[in-house]
Each structure stands twice: as structure tokens, then as C-alpha cells.
Structure 1
Amino acid sequence: MADPMRAVQRLLDLRRLSLLDELPAALNDTAPLLGAVEVTVLLVDYEQIALWPLTGAASRTNESIQINDTAAGRAFTSAHPVRCDGAADVVLWLPLLHGTERLGVLRVKLEAAPDGPYQALTVIAALVAELISGRRFYGDAVEHTRRRLPMQLAAEIIWNQLPPLSFTAHDTSITAVLEPSYDVGGDAFDYAANGTTLHVALFDTVGHGITASALTTLALNTYRNARRCGLSLTDTYRSIDKWVRNQHPGAFVTAILAELDTDNGLYQRISAGHPAELLLRHGAPLPLLPAPTALPLGLAHMRTRPPEITRHTLQPGDTLLLYTDGITESRSADGELFGLDRLSDFVTEAEARLLSPAEIMRQLVHTIISYEDGELRDDATAAMLQWHPPR
């Protein structure tokens, strides 16, 4: 007999003493309480190409579901349930969301269509997402599922430094992508919401591999330290520059260090040798902000004047796209750059299709990879910031 509350209680018991390896079996044990035949967790891989069953650390499976052109993929990309009625059963695909971060989908196989709305099953999906997010760091089950290739050490170091790819609060959303997933070394992003201030940073380190990842790690954590100490943008720039110069003489990092006041839309940033952001309003690109406004981090001693802060007031609905040069400088087989115009056209068209920021970023990085014939020559990182308060 279906008893959703008992199912919720059993899953809640997993929060304290269980490992994620035990979640697949626990879900199938509770399936009858949900009126289901089978319940399966599928997680998105690092490249965001396919969804893979969570099987635990002891076993792996090669059975996956592609995100493009599948019901499971529609649930993942839209963040809404998708129902498929078959001859013998009904399958519900429910998105697994931690906040706005897309973890994967929950497949619920039923003998018959549910009576009325299926809120109980969406509650189960939300609880499963919380279990995955809260317990993923106590074992490697999630990593074993999501990784489809060996990850290089430099990429391991970078991924362990990053916040979730997507975040939404105070009428502001930010989502990012990072490629190549298994071999990235010199790019990184960070953000933090403190009161009505959203802090955003994007870093592009000279070089590649383990040396670049060490420099990126230093810049990223110095940025966080300065932010948490309450330093201004100018002093944050100086602090990162000092540590980069002291620990890696001759090396440098380009960056955008930015703050958005979510109350009034005031956007302030320092462009440390970095390309200007793409700014879109009502589906059309606006003139680029001044860039760069300071030397790259690690080279500030070559200029006597302080870094310049650019200030710009956003309008409700504005989109800012921060990116590293691996996006615009990707090349086709005949050597043609992807360029800023193509980037602007891509984002404009994607927004016109009402895609979510996370889906725009997923499709953007796949477009860049395809443009370079499947193999990136440089790290490609982008972060989309949208400010959409009530008018």
C-alpha cells in the first residue's frame, strides 16, 4: 500500500548513518510505499552530455541516457517533470535540483498513472537531491558515477576549489561552465552572496597543467580570504597581486573581480588584463565596458597608479556574461576565431528561446567544443549573471 510519508521517513533516516552507495537499494525498498515499481537515480556527467545511474563505488555501468532528444534529458534541461505513458507502465522523470544546481533526474516507474498531481514524488526527488548534496563528500559514489574519463590531477585540484555551477537568490542568478572537464588547469570562477552584495570573480592563469592549477588555487583562495576579511575591490586586487608575485615570480593571472548590489543593480568591477564582459539588455548587446582597467594579477608593480573600478547600473532583466579567452579565441578547422559576435549571437538567440541560464551555459560550451572539432586548445570558462528584480 502506498504510504509516501513512510517513504520520506525511511529516506530521512539515511541522512545520519548511511553512505550514498546504499541509496539505490533504499529507493527500491521504498518504491512500493510510493506506488512505484522501481526508483532510480541518474546523475549528469561532468561534460553534461549524458545521465548515468548511481550504482555506488563498487560497480559502474555503461548504460546511460543522452541528455539531447530524450524524455530524461527534457526533465534535466527544463527542471520540470516529464511523464511518459507506455503500454505496460508509466515512467516519471523528475529533476534532481539542489537549489538551482542540476544534479540529474529521478526515474520513477509506475504500474499505472498516478491519481491527480504527484507532489509526493516531487518531494521525494527534492529529498534525494538533498541527500546527494549533503553526503557526496563522505565517499566517492557520486564521483565514480559522474566521471566517464580519468581526471587529470590539475583538473582534480581546480574542481575541488569551485562552488556549485548554479546559484539563485535575491532575484539574481549565476551559472558557470568549465571545460575541458577532465583536463582544465588554468581557469576558475567563484561567487558568494553576502546580504545584498553578490561577489563574482573569474580567473584565467597563464600556462596549463599542475603549475597553472597551483597558481589558480592561490589566486582563488587569496580572493576568498580578502573577501571574507571585508576588503574593498581595490585592496582585494592588491592582495591577490602581492601573493601571486611573491609565490610565483614572473607568472600572472588575468581576472575580473566584481560586485553587484542586488538592491539597486550597481555593478562594480576591476578588469585585471581580462576581456570585457558581454552585456545584453532586451535581447540586444550593449557597448562593452572598459577593459582592461588594471594589469594582470602579479604584474601590478609595473604600474604606479591604482586599479580602476568600472561602475555600471544594470536594468532589470540584464544579462552579463563573463568569459575567458578560450571561448572567443576558439578556432574552426580553417582557423577562423569564434569571436565576440558569434558569442553575442549565441546568447541572444538562446535567451529568445527562453532557455534557463544553466542550459544556455551547457549548450554554449558544447557549441565551443564542436566549433573546435571536439578538442579544445585552451580552457574555456564562462559565467552568466542575470539580475531580474520585480519592476
Structure 2
Amino acid sequence: MSEETVDRSEGFGERLLCLLLDRARLMPPQLIAPLIAEEVARIGGRDVSILLQDYSQELLVPLPGRDLHVGQPEPVDDSAAGRSFLRGDVVEVPQTHGVRMYLPLLDGSDQVGVMALTLDVVGDDDRRLLRRLAGLVADMLVTKNAYTDRFFQARRREPMSVSAEIQWSLLPPLTMTVPQVEVAGILEPAYRVAGDSFDYALNDSILHVAVIDAMGHGLDAATMATVAIGAYRHARRVFVSLAEKYAFMDEAVARQFGPDHFVTAQLMHLNVATGELQLVNAGHPAPLLIRDGLVARQLESATTLPVGFGGEAPRIREHLLQQGDRVLCYTDGIIEEHLAGEEPFGEERLIQCVNRLGQEPSEGMRADLRRLSHTLKHERGGRTSDDATLFMIEWRGGAADHLAVVD
């Protein structure tokens, strides 16, 4: 196509999004909400709300701001906003005067929250424009969140310990979705977590994963977890093999804390094109392989000494996943909780919960993991006296090259 025939005209929707993007670059965080409300008003929208998930993933809480509609928090489990959030899709609720729309705020594939607004009439052009607007709003919220406390304060529903503050600042996004693989993680107790953490990175075709549990409680455990994750990230960005990652983490923890401190760890490499999984288990509970909704087996590997004990080079176990397989990693706080007058919760009861929920209709891996976490907490009598972390991987295979092709 010659330069003369290229269509460079701007439609109304494109002009609206470009105006928002141009203004947002220098916009202070507290003016983001009024800007969003102004832009929505340009297409006839009203009563705009920005709802962010709280740290325990139970509520969607309204972000305060000038020109925003600030109502009561919406439950994730039983509300139109919650359905939009969990499914990652638009939900429309007819009202006496118009339609209330709930649009997921997706930063990549990580759900930030939900944008809600009311239109008199909704057409396909409105839906397309609002989806794109919601995507831009999510990116703006994530970017501005890096230099304000306002969004954090809105999401926090109860006092948070210093150790939990450290851990939440350390985490990557709780979910990631690409065509070949999806990951999701959840931490309990959200406002008091200390030594548990996880990290991941997708570098070309290799998904790198670490799930850790630092010994102890409180600030000491959080500090040790910070060193372990920092050493893991450094090694991941310099070295290649799982053995080198383990050795680097082991040396860092031992040097900083001495021989009486340790961190258990699960380290993985997953080839997202082939399903080949490499695993190092450093004193951690073995992951569970879930196939067709049921636990097929543990992903066993020769147990290596926990990080910090100066163990020998770890043995690496290889497994081959099938498309649709899920791998569930967990920390010992899940299975070692003691119910009143009973034995520890145990792995068998964990597997029973996974299998029971696996027979129910899936709402997507992220929603399924959240439901599992809340079910396990209920089964433990609502108790989480130790950190209890879940991290799940779903492998789908295939390729993502089609996303780089302009239609």
C-alpha cells in the first residue's frame, strides 16, 4: 500500500483514548480518577467506580477520588463486579434507567480490579471502546501505583504487619496468562504473611519458577525470604541451570544468616513449547500433578537440603506434562495446621479438597486457585497460624506467534 492510500484518520474512540493517554503521562496519581470519570462522561457514561481487589481477595473495594462514585465494597464471590473480576469479562446488568457495566481491569493478564459505569444504551461500539479504555485504565493504575500509597491504602482492609508489607512488595503479579501457560499464586494470611514467597519469569520459551518458605515467623522470616528471592532473581538473570540457582541462593542465605537458618524451596524450569519440566526440591513438599481436575500423583524428585545448609549439587528430576495439566505447589503451612484436638490437616485432605473442587465447573485457573485457597482455610476451621501459600501452573502448549501478526 502506498503512503498516499494509508488511512491515518482518527475515529472518535481513538481520539478519546489518545487524549487520555496524552494527559496521563504527567498526571499526578490523585487526578487519575477524575480524568477517567471525565473521559467516560464523553461517551455518555455516569456513576463511574474503580474497584480494586483487597489483599485477602475477598472484596472489591472502591477507590476514592473526585467525580468517582464511591459505594460499598463488593464481594468477589457474589456480585456482578465479582463475576467480571473472576472471569475477566464484561458483565452487563440492566437497570431501570440504563445498563450498569462492569469491565475487568487487566494489566496484561493480571486482574487489577473492575471499572463500573452506567450507560443509557449499550451498543457494540460502546463495548469495544470501553474494553480498550479499561485496559488503558489498568495500565495507568499499575504505573501510578509505583509512586503513591493511595491505591495500597484503598486495598488494605485491616492492619498489615511489617513482614507482610515486605512480602507484598516483593511479589511479582499474582497471575500471568499467555497462550502456552498460565500461573497464579495466593498468600495466606494476607495481612500477616512473613516467610513464604514465590517468583517467576517467562524468558523466551522457559518459565522460571521459585516457591520458598523461610524458617521462623515475623520480620526475621521476611528478611530471609527477601534475601532468598533476591539471590534467586540475580542468579536467574545471570546463570541458566537450576543447579546454579540453588547454589547461589544457598550461599547467600548461609553467608547472611549463618548455619542455623534455612529456606525450603521448589525450583522449576518449564519449557512452555514442549511441556518438559525440570524440578529441584530443596526440602519442600512435593508438587501435585492435577490432570482432568484430579490429582494424578506427586511430582517426586530427590530431595536436596534446604537452601542455606551448604548441600551438594542438587539432583534435577524431569517430568513431561500433557496439555491441560496443572502443577500445584504449596508450603507446609497448608498441611501442618492443627485443628482443635486433631492431627495435622495433612496432604491427604489437601488432595481430597483438590479432587472435590476439580469436579465442579471451572471458572479459569485463577478463580479455581482462589476457591481452593478459601476452601482449605474453611476446612482448617478458618485458622492460618503459619504462612500458607499456593502456586499453580497450567500448561497449554502451542505458540503465541500469531499475536505478533497485524491483521
TM-score by length of structure 2 reads 0.89
Q: Does residue 298 of structure 1 match 2:308?
A: yes
| Structure 1 runs not aligned, ≥5 long | none
Q: Does residue 87 of structure 1 match 2:96?
A: yes
Cα pair 2:61 2:74 within 8 Å, conserved: yes
1:61 positional shift: 6.8
Alignment partner for residue 376 of structure 2, among 363, 368, 371? 368
Structure 1: which 4+ aligned runs deviate by more than 6 Å? 59-62
User: 1:48 aligns to what?
Assistant: 57
CA distance in 2, matches of 1:28, 1:363: 33
Per-residue Cα deviation, 1:199-253 (whole angstroms, up to 9, x for no partner): 0000001101111111111111111111111242112111111121111111011
CA distance in 2, matches of 1:32, 1:63: 22
Alignment partner for residue 287 of structure 2, among 259, 277, 281? 277
Residue 56 of structure 2 aligns to which amino acid in structure 1? E
TM-score by length of structure 1 reads 0.92
Q: Does residue 216 of structure 1 match 2:218?
A: no
Alignment partner for residue 362 of structure 2, among 354, 361, 364? 354
- How big is the alpha-carbon RMSD for the aligned residues of Structure 1 and Structure 2? 2.3
Cα pair 1:245 1:251 within 8 Å, conserved: yes
CA distance in 1, matches of 2:70, 2:35: 19
1:42 positional shift: 0.8
Cα pair 1:191 1:201 within 8 Å, conserved: yes
Cα pair 1:322 1:384 within 8 Å, conserved: yes
Q: Does residue 265 of structure 1 match 2:275?
A: yes
1:158 positional shift: 1.2
Give the 5 Å matches for 1:1-391: 3-55=12-64, 63-114=72-123, 118-169=127-178, 171-249=180-258, 250-291=260-301, 293-301=303-311, 305-352=312-359, 353-390=361-398
Partner of 1:325, secondary structure, is: coil
CA distance in 2, matches of 1:259, 1:330: 30
Percent identity at matched positions? Answer: 37
| Structure 2 runs not aligned, ≥5 long | 1-10, 400-407
Aligned residues: 386
1:351 positional shift: 4.2
* Structure 1, 170-179 or 367-376: larger mean CA deviation: 367-376
Partner of 1:138, secondary structure, is: coil
Cα pair 1:185 1:209 within 8 Å, conserved: yes
Change (3 A) 1:242 1:99: same
Residue 214 of structure 1 aligns to which amino acid in structure 2? T
Cα pair 2:206 2:269 within 8 Å, conserved: yes
